[in-house]
Amino acid sequence: MTATSLPGEVTVSVPATSANLGPGFDALGLALELRDLVRARREPAGTVTVHVSGEGVSTVPRDESHLVVRAAHAAWDAMGEPRSGLTLWCTNVVPHGRGLGSSAAAAVAGVLAARALAGAPDDPAAALAVATALEGHPDNAAAALLGGLTIAWTTDDPPSTPCAVRIEPSPGLRATVLVPDVELSTETARGLLPATVPHVDAAHTAGRAALLVEAVSRRPDLLLEATEDRLHQTYRAPAMPATAELVALLRARGWAAVVSGAGPAVLVLSARDRQPDAESLREQAGPGWRVLDLRLAPVGAVVDTVG
């Protein structure tokens, strides 16, 4: 593709994601039909302008430190492409700091926008590598890129490489997200995890994570047992006591409730014919919580180009 035929503007739509799903720590991710939209236009080198609406409008930066810009620059660097200037229009819908993959959405949007503006072919593996380097782990980025249910891992042999496979979720699966009015940084949540865990807890969690793939893809009736976790949620509870209390309450009533990602949002997975009533969930959560009834996103990030 010649320089004159490169797209001058692209739009990228990226879904929200919920990682871990209980026992699948740093491995499982689920794409949710709640999408951020980024429109990106090439500008002369050195020129960066960022427009933001929606979530984070009063807090996110408007310069080169904005995550979408940093992701675009990282993508160009990885490709050996010179950095262009950028004008961005970011319409943020995914809640920030709640465990719903807002940073992964921004990283994926920036990487895909940069690759499209450079005329690069679709390459999910290359995009995942750059997004993971920014995120630190591939679970949310994989689901944001591929949609559906994803299993992500990083190869042990140097150079370590993030990898992911997509699995089709059961068509009868629904997701309900309870979003509190407080934020929690991923760094804070990860800082509470111990360096080691008891072998019995690791074995229990490994079995439940394997069962969870079956539950999400074919057997929603197994969701309550499959979402049991002993690896991370209990250790993180002191940073989000209201979340831990709500998860315990919902699970005691038979719902497959887990901490969404690093929290503090709560994800409830259910079969469509046995979906919890939103008003009932709102009453159980109490004031300060939003209830979002979401479809799973079968398609991950989508890029549209404008000449």
CATH number of the domain enclosing 192: 3.30.70.890
The closest alpha carbon to 96, from 48, 34, 31, 21, belongs to: 34
Assess whether 17 and 53 both reside in one domain: yes
Digit-coded pLDDT (tens) for 113-128: 999 999 999 999 999 9
Backbone angles phi, psi at 278, to 5 degrees: -60, -40
Q: How far is CA 258 from the centre of its chain?
A: 15
Q: Residue 224's domain spans which residues?
A: 173-294
Reported as a pLDDT band with limits 50, 70 and 90, residue 207 is: very high
Instruction: Note the pLDDT of residue 281.
Output: 87
Instruction: Note the pLDDT of residue 154.
Output: 96
11 pLDDT exceeds 60? yes
Assess whether 162 and 211 both reside in one domain: no
Assess whether 96 and 107 both reside in one domain: yes
The mean pLDDT value of the chain amounts to 94
Assess whether 179 and 160 both reside in one domain: no
Count structural domains, the chain: 2
169 pLDDT exceeds 90? yes
- According to DSSP, the residues that pair with 29 across neighbouring strands are 19, 150
Q: 0.75 exceeded by the pTM?
A: yes
Instruction: Note the pLDDT of residue 276.
Output: 84
Radius of gyration of the chain (CA): 19
The residue type found at 198 is P
Assess whether 129 and 218 both reside in one domain: no
Residue range 265-289: average pLDDT? 88
Q: What is the CATH number of the domain that holds 111?
A: 3.30.230.10
Assess whether 27 and 114 both reside in one domain: yes
User: Locate tokens 């800082």: which residue?
Assistant: 191
User: Locate tokens 């969701």: which residue?
Assistant: 223
pLDDT more than 90, % of the chain: 85
Instruction: Note the pLDDT of residue 3.
Output: 52
Assess whether 159 and 239 both reside in one domain: no
The closest alpha carbon to 269, from 14, 18, 85, 10, belongs to: 18
The residue type found at 4 is T
User: Locate tokens 């990682």: which residue?
Assistant: 19
Assess whether 22 and 117 both reside in one domain: yes
Assess whether 114 and 178 both reside in one domain: no
CA–CA gap between residue 108 and residue 145 (Å, rounded)? 7
The count of other CB atoms within 10 Å of the CB of residue 39 is 18
Assess whether 154 and 8 both reside in one domain: yes
Longest pairwise C-alpha distance within the chain? 61
Assess whether 164 and 19 both reside in one domain: yes
The closest alpha carbon to 50, from 35, 70, 79, belongs to: 70
172 pLDDT exceeds 90? no
User: Locate tokens 């699970």: which residue?
Assistant: 251
Assess whether 271 and 301 both reside in one domain: no
CA–CA gap between residue 141 and residue 109 (Å, rounded)? 10
Would you say 143 and 29 are in contact if contact means Cβ atoms under 8 Å apart? yes
Taking CA atoms, 6 is separated from 34, 68, 120, 268, 307, in Å, by 29, 20, 10, 43, 7
CA triplet 66, 305, 78: central angle to 5 degrees?
50
Quick one: tokens of 97? 């700091």
pLDDT more than 70, % of the chain: 98
Would you say 300 and 145 are in contact if contact means Cβ atoms under 8 Å apart? yes
Please say whether the dihedral angle defined by the alpha carbons of residues 291, 56, 300 and 164, taken in this order, is positive or negative.
Answer: negative
